[in-house]
């Protein structure tokens, strides 16, 4: 099931999560049968709600689901028959999928312009958008070197390192706690993004805030690659972004826990980086400083492609 694949992190990376959810909901909408529009829409909405609940922090997931549902809901509320509601939902999903993939490419092109020849880059976790910047810089002949921390406890940094090395980029892995030793060798840090709050704060894989603090202390440029659908519109109304707590078995094996029953565990999957530690976000709409996120939210809320207001779709629950 799609829910299980998301919950167990068989699919990870905010952009991949978003597209996986949009595709899963599209497939469900395509194959679900119902006699009445209300019966059909109730089924599709319930499926969307379940997908949204799989990962509480990565706002790309609910935003993708909301985007898909918004198109179907518009058709449902206009009194359309089941076939039209189905098609509207499918069209919204396809629109999101195409836009998501295109955004990663554009982010790579925009971000690579800020990479200088011979730059050494530190990166954390595994981000399609961040990788797109580094690959594009490499394609432009910038001769970059990349240092990937392991990103414990699930070691997503190893996946990033393998991807970059296979692409021909000079790549090194370090343990997370060695970042201070290597920050002075870096010209910039590039990370991905799971959510952006209205005040410009970054929510990303746990450990990101420590890397950002080191970059700030060492005057190293800190760039965040982020599609605009990772902006959390609910933070406008005062809601906080929930930080997902994952199973302690990701940190220590069951045998060790049994031997040391009095040891407690916390395994947060994400942390929050204050906006003052972020130099700018690289989005498909351009470079945005943390202080410009609110203006971008207003722009997205107003924007319409003729059928859907993007920001309003992200507000939809």
Annotated active-site positions, please?
125, 194
Non-local CB neighbours of 53 within 8 Å, separated by 6+ positions: 3
Question: How far from each other are the two terminal CA atoms of the chain, in whole angstroms?
Answer: 22
Where helices occur in 113-207 by DSSP H, the ranges are 128-139, 156-166, 179-183
Contact between 270 and 203 (Cβ < 8 Å): yes
Residue 30's alpha-carbon distances to 34, 72, 89, 91, 149, in angstroms, are 11, 12, 9, 11, 41
**Cα–Cα dist 15/18, whole Å:** 5
Peptide bond into 113 cis (omega under 30): no
**Cα–Cα dist 23/25, whole Å:** 5
DSSP 8-state assignment for residue 116: P
């Amino acid at each position: 099931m799609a829910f299980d694949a998301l919950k167990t992190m068989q699919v990870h990376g905010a952009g991949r999560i978003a597209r996986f959810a949009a595709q899963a909901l599209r497939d469900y909408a395509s194959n679900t049968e119902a006699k009445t529009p209300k019966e059909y829409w109730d089924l599709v909405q319930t499926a969307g709600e379940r997908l949204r609940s799989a990962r509480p922090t990565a706002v790309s997931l609910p935003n993708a689901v909301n985007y898909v549902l918004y198109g179907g809901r518009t058709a449902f509320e206009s009194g359309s028959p089941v076939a039209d509601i189905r098609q509207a939902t499918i069209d919204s999903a396809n629109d999101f999928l195409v836009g998501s993939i295109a955004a990663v490419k554009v982010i790579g092109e925009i971000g690579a312009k800020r990479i200088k020849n011979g730059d050494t880059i530190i990166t954390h976790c595994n981000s399609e958008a961040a990788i797109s910047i580094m690959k594009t810089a490499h394609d432009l002949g910038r001769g970059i070197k990349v240092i990937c921390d392991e990103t414990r406890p699930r070691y997503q940094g190893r996946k990033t390192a393998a991807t970059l090395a296979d692409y021909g980029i000079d790549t090194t892995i370090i343990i997370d706690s060695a970042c201070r030793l290597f920050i002075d060798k870096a010209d910039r840090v590039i990370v991905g993004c799971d959510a952006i709050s209205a005040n410009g704060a970054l929510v990303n894989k746990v450990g990101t805030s420590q890397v950002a603090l080191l970059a700030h202390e060492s005057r190293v440029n800190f760039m965040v690659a982020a599609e605009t659908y990772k902006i959390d519109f609910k933070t406008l109304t005062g809601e906080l972004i929930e930080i997902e707590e994952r199973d302690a078995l990701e940190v220590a094996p069951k045998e060790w826990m049994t031997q040391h029953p009095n040891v407690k565990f916390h395994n947060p999957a994400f942390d929050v980086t204050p906006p003052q530690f972020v130099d700018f976000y690289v989005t498909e709409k351009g470079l945005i400083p943390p202080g410009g996120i609110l203006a971008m939210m207003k722009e997205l809320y107003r924007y319409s492609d003729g059928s859907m207001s993007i920001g309003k779709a992200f507000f939809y629950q």
